Copies of this chain bind each other. A is one copy, B any other.
């Protein structure tokens, strides 16, 4: 369906025009067809791809990671060479991220639970935990 201008595709993907061109330069988005005038022409698949990028970015993936995720799906279309290994590597990466965040979360959760919400800062467990002693 779509034969969108860059402005339309940007609006549909809820990102800026500059960002669309930036992603093209960074090869996260394939170079689109051009009109005779030089205007870029996009389709629905580009909107999908840009939304994918936006969501993955919101999950904390670097653009480079996202590019490899996208490459992964291209491999998928082409017939799956080494796809499983790469997918599992990505999965391990995600698990590590989750574990890291959960560790962080437990630390902060405990601090909030212990925090009286009032009183002298000298007794604040958050500061105590952050400023605590270390071995060596």
Contact = CB atoms under 8 A, between A and B. Distances in A.
B58 A100 contact: yes
A101 B60 contact: yes
A77 B124 contact: yes
B52 A127 contact: yes
Interface of A: 14, 48-49, 51-52, 55-56, 58-60, 69, 72-73, 75-77, 79-81, 83-85, 87-88, 90-91, 94-95, 97-98, 100-102, 104-105, 107-109, 111-112, 115-122, 124, 126-127, 129-132, 134
Given A59-B107, A83-B126, A94-B104, 4 more contacts: A52-B131, A55-B129, A80-B115, A87-B111
A119 B75 CA distance: 12
